[in-house]
Chains A and B, each alone.
Chain A
Amino acid sequence: MTDGPTTTLGTTITLDIFRYHPEQGKKPIMQRFHVTINKSGMKLLDALNSIKWHQDNTLTYRRSCGEGVCGSDGVNINGVNGLACITPIEGLKQPIEIRPLPGMSVIRDLVVDMTHFFDQYRSIKPWMQTTTPTPEHEHLQTPRERQQLNGLYECILCGCCTTSCPSWWWNGDKFLGPATLLQANRWIQDSRDEATEERLEHLEDNFKLYRCHQIMNCMQACPKSLNPTKAINEIKRAIVERKG
């Protein structure tokens, strides 16, 4: 996304934004807006805020932290998913096309229904499960064991990866999708967790896990530069190793 023009202070940028108003009952449209660059390093969320605060306060989108931590403002930007708050306007091809995360039920404008996404996340029991007595202080890990979680624990569940996956678009009712599978691997790799067998048993399924066809859109969309495809392959290898 670095093939666009240079944007300097005072220049005007053009955005085409997906609009859907449920009460009006019309089909979604793309609406054009113009925003003036008023600070250096301006991000896409700043442009959306500018539109909402100064041009059209009915524009609806999610946002919270504004710095790539909460994962609220995942949208499709010029055809690729990303977080509006950490995507620089500089370099984006204009008109910047902003749509809701793909393959999702649209509630309004850029807000999509994440219910199914979080139901799938919940299905992998994303918490530490142990059978041995809880230690007096904390569960200890060696630095090497802790290192196994790098590239996994950073996931903020923004949904950019899952909603970029064609396998999930077509089989999302059964295929768990990249975000949930990366999170599942986060617990499989955790040396303190004692439910690895059950977790692998749960995932070994033609649809839940094996619908991944290594399309790798997830890896390219992840705003935290994680690699869900690799995480999915690690689960597959863990299943093979378990069987010996």
Chain B
Amino acid sequence: MPTHPHHHASSSSRPQSPRLSIYRWQTTMIASILHRISGGMLIISMLVSIYLFSYIISNTENLFITIDWMRSWQGTLFLWLFGITATYHWSNGLRFLLLDYGIGESRERMKQSANLVLWTIPLSAITLGTWLWL
């Protein structure tokens, strides 16, 4: 088992107690980790978007190629995931900003707001899915 860097030097031969593998997932924990993941996904989405825009403006034919791609299942899936990710990241970002201002800081409110932002995932998935595919 790997030893933790901050442990006392004399304890280097001791095993480390299990952590992430055994800790029960909490909604607040999921909300925070998804915030990091969605942030990373938004960066990738932005890069794809910038590439698409630069591709479109290079000549008129590329515009039609891009429109065709956006209408394909891969393009629609990209839009769908982009939308869900942006909605979640924005919602939880707002939650974190409010917490920074001291709004919703009670133990109960912290848990409730985590649940609330997690609900934006299925809700935005259904709403955007309906809009894109129906």
Q: Is the beta-carbon distance between A173 and B5 smaller than 8 angstroms?
A: yes
Q: Is the beta-carbon distance between A216 and B16 smaller than 8 angstroms?
A: no
Of B51-59, B78-86, B94-102, the one contacting chain A is B94-102
Distance A107 CA – B11 CA, assembled complex (angstroms): 8
Distance A106 CA – B11 CA, assembled complex (angstroms): 8
List residues of chain B with CB within 8 A of the CB of A80.
23-24, 26
Of B40-48, B69-77, B105-113, the one contacting chain A is B105-113
B29 within 8 A of A: yes
Distance A174 CA – B14 CA, assembled complex (angstroms): 21
Of A55-63, A110-118, A132-140, the one contacting chain B is A110-118
Q: Is the beta-carbon distance between A100 and B7 smaller than 8 angstroms?
A: no
- Per-residue A-contact encoding for B11-45, CB less than 8 Å = 1, 0 else: 10011111110111010110011011000000000
Known: A79-B22, A100-B17, A105-B16. A113 touches B110 (CB 8 A): no
List residues of chain A with CB within 8 A of the CB of B28.
214-217, 219-220
List residues of chain B with CB within 8 A of the CB of A28.
15
Of A5-13, A164-172, A180-188, the one contacting chain B is A164-172
Q: Is the beta-carbon distance between B24 and A215 smaller than 8 angstroms?
A: no
Distance A227 CA – B108 CA, assembled complex (angstroms): 10
Q: Is the beta-carbon distance between B24 and A103 smaller than 8 angstroms?
A: no
Q: Is the beta-carbon distance between B107 and A105 smaller than 8 angstroms?
A: no
Interface size class of A (residues with CB under 8 A): 35 or more
A230 touches which of B6, B8, B105, B111 (Cβ 8 Å): B105
In the complex formed, the residue of B with least CB distance to A234 is: B102
B119 to chain A, nearest CB (A): 17
Distance A18 CA – B111 CA, assembled complex (angstroms): 30
List residues of chain B with CB within 8 A of the CB of A97.
22
A122 within 8 A of B: no
A20 within 8 A of B: yes
Q: List 25 A-B contacts (CB under 8 A).
A: A18-B17, A20-B15, A76-B17, A78-B24, A79-B22, A79-B23, A79-B24, A99-B22, A103-B17, A104-B16, A105-B3, A105-B4, A105-B8, A105-B14, A105-B17, A113-B14, A116-B6, A166-B19, A166-B29, A173-B5, A216-B26, A216-B32, A219-B110, A227-B105, A233-B105
Since A80-B23, A115-B8 are in contact, a sample of 8 more A-B pairs with Cβ atoms closer than 8 Å, ordered by chain A residue number, is: A27-B1, A105-B3, A166-B20, A214-B32, A215-B28, A227-B110, A229-B105, A233-B102
| Nearest 3 pairs of A and B residues by beta carbon | A79-B24, A173-B6, A216-B28
Chain B: residues with CB nearer than 8 A to chain A? 1, 3-8, 11, 14-20, 22-24, 26, 28-29, 32-33, 35-36, 96, 99-100, 102, 105-107, 110-111, 114
Chain A: residues with CB nearer than 8 A to chain B? 18, 20, 22, 27-28, 76, 78-80, 97, 99-107, 112-113, 115-116, 163-164, 166, 169, 172-174, 213-217, 219-220, 225, 227, 229-230, 233-234, 236-237
